Amino acid sequence: MPEDAFGPRRSPLFQSTADILRRNIDSGTLTPGLVLQESALSERLSVSRATVKRALSLLADEGLLCRFDGRGYLVAGRDSPRRLDLRSIELDLDQLDEDAGKPNWQRLQEEMEADLARCLIFGRYRIIEALVAEHFGVSRTVVRDVLGRLQERGLVTKSNTSRWVVEPLTAQRFRNKFELASILEVAALETAMPDIEALGRLSADIRALPQDGPDDPDIWFDLEGRFYDLAILSTPNADLAGYVRSNRAALRSSQKVLFSLGLPPDRQTLSEHGMVVDLILAQTRSAAASMLSTHLGNALNRTIAQLKIVSVLDPPDDLAPYLQAG
């Protein structure tokens, strides 16, 4: 998997699929002359036929496979085809991509989020739908669906000419999001109906963190997510909760970008969440709301400081091919 100062870049699923097949050819599990058909491999590897097709084409270009008059490819090294049930062959799948088996839209959304994270602070980029479809081996219908989901998260937008674009993360964008959060989230907290026992467990988990931790962004996001689910999104006002989720999703995506660029998880944010939780547990809701408002102001300042740190970095030279600057 390619890696640079911006962290690992995930390989497209067709490349991961090709890696698995290549390894099984090299080990002799897939023997010379064996017929490899898209449908059987798609079922065996839990990936789409389009993904398998691109992987087989790649291996044919490398000379590991050859096309034959029947349907499919042959493993190179023998002219006469051998037909076996590929579903019965014990393949080495130890490094099967964790995305295999996921719906196309879900896999695509996760991979595009990772790709966009690598460009968000470096300027404005256009997203070319046709190149996205080609790169990931999916239909343009799936691409448009995912782009709509990413738009809801605030990662992409449409230009005046209806082209999909990635706007750079700026201090003003963060100010706008946090200003909205200070209105929506405080209002939601004031009417929230949290599970008190679960809040108590969250408070204990935050207090148990090391003084300089957590180091793992997944732990940070788990604790932050539990805080919002319990203290904010338990409001009975479903419309308000929906607006909070939408705005918070954009902020979480932006935070993932900063983490992907090497910045450590923000321990102070979790400490401030813990203070809000303790005030709710003490049945001082107005004080909890005031603490949440203070936290959001502090979090904005810390985020802008982080943005200044990463702004001196040069753009990576291996951005996804479907992204065009300008």
* The pLDDT value given to residue 1: 41
* Of 89 and 193, the one with more pLDDT: 193
Token look-up 């990931």 returns: 136
What torsion, rounded to 10 degrees, do the Cα atoms 239, 178, 310, 227 define? -60
Whole-model pTM over 0.85: no
pLDDT at site 103 = 54
Task: Report the chain's mean pLDDT, rounded to a whole number.
Answer: 85
- The helix/strand/coil state of 162 is coil
Pairing type for strands 3-4 and 7-8 reads antiparallel
**Residue 324: strand, helix, or coil:** strand
Say which residues have a Cβ less than 8 Å from residue 1's Cβ, sequence separation at least 6: 8, 9, 10, 11
Contact of 6 with 310, CB cutoff 8 Å: no
Lowest-confidence region among 53-57, 179-183, 195-199, 267-271: 53-57
Share of the chain residues as helix, strand and coil, in percent rounded to the nearest 5: 55, 10, 35
Beta strands 164-166 and 125-127: pairing type?
antiparallel
Percent with pLDDT over 70 in the chain: 92
pLDDT digits (tens, 9 = 90+) for 301-318: 999 998 888 888 777 777
CB-count burial class (<10 Å; 0-12, 13-18, 19+) for 167? middle
- Whether residue 159 is predicted with pLDDT greater than 80 in this model: the reply is yes
Higher pLDDT, 116 or 230: 230
Strand partners for 165:
126, 157
Per-residue pLDDT reduced to its tens digit, 20-42: 899 888 988 889 988 888 888 87
- Give 79 or 243, the one with higher predicted confidence: 243
Structural tokens at position 304: 């802008």
pLDDT value of position 107: 73
Q: What angle do CA 106, 228, 253 make, to 5 degrees?
A: 40
Looking at residue 170, what is its pLDDT? 87
Query: Once rounded to an integer, what is the mean pLDDT over residues 112-133?
Result: 85
Between 87 and 244, the more confident residue is: 244
User: How far is residue 200's CA from residue 221's CA, in Å, rounded to a whole number?
Assistant: 18
Residues 6 or more apart whose CB falls under 8 angstroms from that of 69 comprise none
Predicted local distance difference test score (pLDDT) of residue 3: 45
Choice between 300 and 326, residue whose per-residue pLDDT is larger: 300
> Mean pLDDT, to the nearest integer, of 167-182?
92
C-alpha count within 13 angstroms, C-beta hemisphere, residue 63? 1
| DSSP code string of 181-213 | HHHHHHHHHHH----HHHHHHHHHHHHTS-TT-
Would you state the pLDDT for residue 97? 54
46 Rama sector, left if φ>0, alpha if ψ -120 to 50, beta otherwise:
left
Walk me through the domains of the chain, giving residue ranges and CATH numbers. 3-88 (1.10.10.10), 104-168 (1.10.10.10), 171-310 (1.20.120.530)
